[in-house]
Structure 1
Amino acid sequence: MVTLHSNFIKAFVQTPPLWLDHQFGITQFAFPEIDYTVLKGVTLPATMRLGHKIEHIFLNCLEGQTTYQLLAHSMVVRKENRTLGEIDFLLKDNRDQQLVHMELTFKFYLLNNRLEEPIDQLIGPNRKDNLVAKLEKLRNLQFRLPFLAEGKEQLKLYTRNTEEIKQEVCFKAQIFTPYQQNPTRLYPVNDHCVVGFWLPFEAFEGAGFKTYEYYVPTKDEWILSPDNTKFWMSHFKVLLALNIHMLQKRSVMVWMKKGESVYEKFFVVWW
């Protein structure tokens, strides 16, 4: 088991939304004010995927606010023995009693400006996913579930008319831009999501990185800002640690300590 303490919860809440208001045909969830003093650490199995841990962090955050009431979460919609999908959260807005179907997403995207279309340039660290594919899944699968006969059956305890349910997404993201590239306007993507840079392993081997210290965070720690961990290592040692990941075609997040209280976070990619 692992306990995610308040620093994880705050890091999640403070991560900006990937866009503001309404973009890509999808409305962004307006995160309510959270009272951290009433929240407790979240204890979860260490082997649980980060995405599922973030769902539990969100559930924990609901305990620290009064704007929304949780009605249901992780509602699996099935047709006979086949799973059609899952409704992440069903909330009631206490301000107007409106029901809200909310999908939760937290992504780490690399800006790859080698791709021609701007909308295609946000990709996962291992190039296995991208923003376009996620938006299509939201619109064509996850947001369709309440309107299927099987979805309506699941929701009948809460409403007779699923057409009245608002649909929103809490889509938080951290974006990493190419190393030493001039800043680029990402509109309609939120520029405040940019938290670091990325570079190939071969570039990270360069002399310009040799004088600093490094830490390779666990996957759970990816959402955090770098801090003064006790486990800093030399450039030579971190290269040895990263080499096996590169051979396995797995990109890795790295924290860099450049001076007292001066840190950067970035991805070293295998491709």
Structure 2
Amino acid sequence: MVIITLLDEISGFLKTPSIWKEKDAASDLQIFALSDRFPATKDQFEIAEKVDRIFVLGKRAERFFEFQIQHSKKYDLRISNLQIIQHKKTLGELDFIVEEKDTGQLIHIELVYKFYVYDPSYKEELARWIGPNRKDSLLEKVEKLKTRQLPLLHNSETKQILNSKHISTRSISQQVCYKANLFVPRKLQYNSFSSINNDCIIGFWIHFPEFESDEFNQSKFFSPSKQFWPVDPAKNDIWLSYSEIFPQIRSFIQQKRSPLLWMKTKDTFERFFVVWW
């Protein structure tokens, strides 16, 4: 049993930087950043109820963000996870609508919380940031935001629903809170990467044959479930030897799944993906 607390998860979420610091020129997305820290210790039981039985990382991130907004000194939460349904068909969901306390400005926010690895084989720089299992990518998500998620605000059905809640869509601005944890090839660990916030780079990735090297024999490991991916490895108390973790990693690779590994070498902690492709 892993001795990781809810506060460790929350802390990992809060410390995850935005993939872009300001408006991104490449995607033309307006970036939402929130520096407020909610009193997690005091209210951990309240948030624990909100995430109970929610194990999908993205959904847990939404609850952490919602709780952060609720304790913000700058914003009031007006809407969270509003499903837009027309003729019994779900058109989509608005993540959040907040109101700036000082100005009354309404902001529609879409929250994104992602883990990407950098694959140099792609020609276009932004196309190189992909999911560790190659099932999604930064560019795919940006395209979805621009063509589906953000335009949903201006759908006629959405306007009707929001008007019934006394929210006008005329002056709502739209922003994206795009938090990301990035992993680069091991040999490029100390490089700088264009078009993204390099503060998001927290680890590296290797192919499975590289993990078979004897160089890992002196380290300890743990492979967290996805729910705990944002957590600082130093918070973990249970570690396995290389011989103990290897069969587990081999099983993941055989299933074409790229596991995240925490590695402890003396007093140093590292994070990396072992990819199957």
1:25-55 per-position Cα deviation (integer Å, ceiling 9, x unaligned): 1111120322425432432344531111111
Distance 1:143 1:72 in 2: 15
Is the alpha carbon distance of 1:66 and 1:256 closer, same or farther for their aligned partners in structure 2, counting shifts above 3 Å? same
* Alpha-carbon contact 2:18-2:33 (below 8 Å) kept: no
* Alpha-carbon contact 1:175-1:195 (below 8 Å) kept: yes
1:270 to 251, 263, 276: 276
Q: Which amino acid in 2 is paired with 1:255?
A: W
What are the equivalent positions in structure 2 for 1:125-144 lying under 5 Å apart? 125-144=132-151
* Alpha-carbon contact 1:9-1:61 (below 8 Å) kept: no
Query: Where has structure 1 moved over 6 Å in runs of 4 or more?
Result: none
**What is aligned with 1:28?**
31
The answer to whether residue 64 in structure 2 is matched with residue 63 in structure 1 is no
1:120 to 120, 124, 127: 127
Structure (1 or 2) with the greater strand fraction: 1
Alpha-carbon offset, residue 7 of structure 1: 2.1
1:40 to 29, 38, 44: 44
Indicate the SS of the match to 1:27. coil
Tell which deviates more after alignment, 34-43 or 147-156. 34-43
1:156-184 per-position Cα deviation (integer Å, ceiling 9, x unaligned): 12333x23101011110000000122533
1:195 to 178, 197, 202: 202
Distance 2:166 2:149 in 1: 18
The answer to whether residue 83 in structure 2 is matched with residue 80 in structure 1 is no
Alpha-carbon offset, residue 216 of structure 1: 1.0
* Alpha-carbon contact 1:251-1:270 (below 8 Å) kept: yes
Alpha-carbon offset, residue 10 of structure 1: 1.8
Indicate the SS of the match to 2:233. coil
Q: Which amino acid in 1 is paired with 2:9?
A: F
1:256 to 263, 274, 277: 263
**What is aligned with 1:237?**
244
Tell which deviates more after alignment, 212-221 or 247-256. 212-221
* Alpha-carbon contact 2:70-2:76 (below 8 Å) kept: no
Distance 2:149 2:224 in 1: 31
1:105-135 per-position Cα deviation (integer Å, ceiling 9, x unaligned): 1000001111111010000010000000000
Tell which deviates more after alignment, 105-114 or 234-243. 234-243
Distance 2:75 2:128 in 1: 34
Is the alpha carbon distance of 1:29 and 1:47 closer, same or farther for their aligned partners in structure 2, counting shifts above 3 Å? closer
Distance 2:162 2:35 in 1: 24
Indicate the SS of the match to 1:29. coil
- Between the two proteins, what is the percent identity of the paired residues? 31
Q: How many residue pairs align between the two structures?
A: 267
Indicate the SS of the match to 1:174. strand
Q: Which amino acid in 1 is paired with 2:234?
A: D
Distance 2:189 2:9 in 1: 30
Indicate the SS of the match to 2:93. strand
The gaps in structure 1 that reach 5 residues or longer are: none
Is the alpha carbon distance of 1:35 and 1:60 closer, same or farther for their aligned partners in structure 2, counting shifts above 3 Å? closer
Is the alpha carbon distance of 1:254 and 1:182 closer, same or farther for their aligned partners in structure 2, counting shifts above 3 Å? closer
* TM-score calculated relative to the size of structure 1: 0.93
* TM-score calculated relative to the size of structure 2: 0.92
CA RMSD of superposed structures (Å): 1.6
* Alpha-carbon contact 2:114-2:179 (below 8 Å) kept: yes
What are the equivalent positions in structure 2 for 1:82-231 lying under 5 Å apart? 82-156=89-163, 157-160=165-168, 162-181=169-188, 183-227=190-234, 229-231=236-238
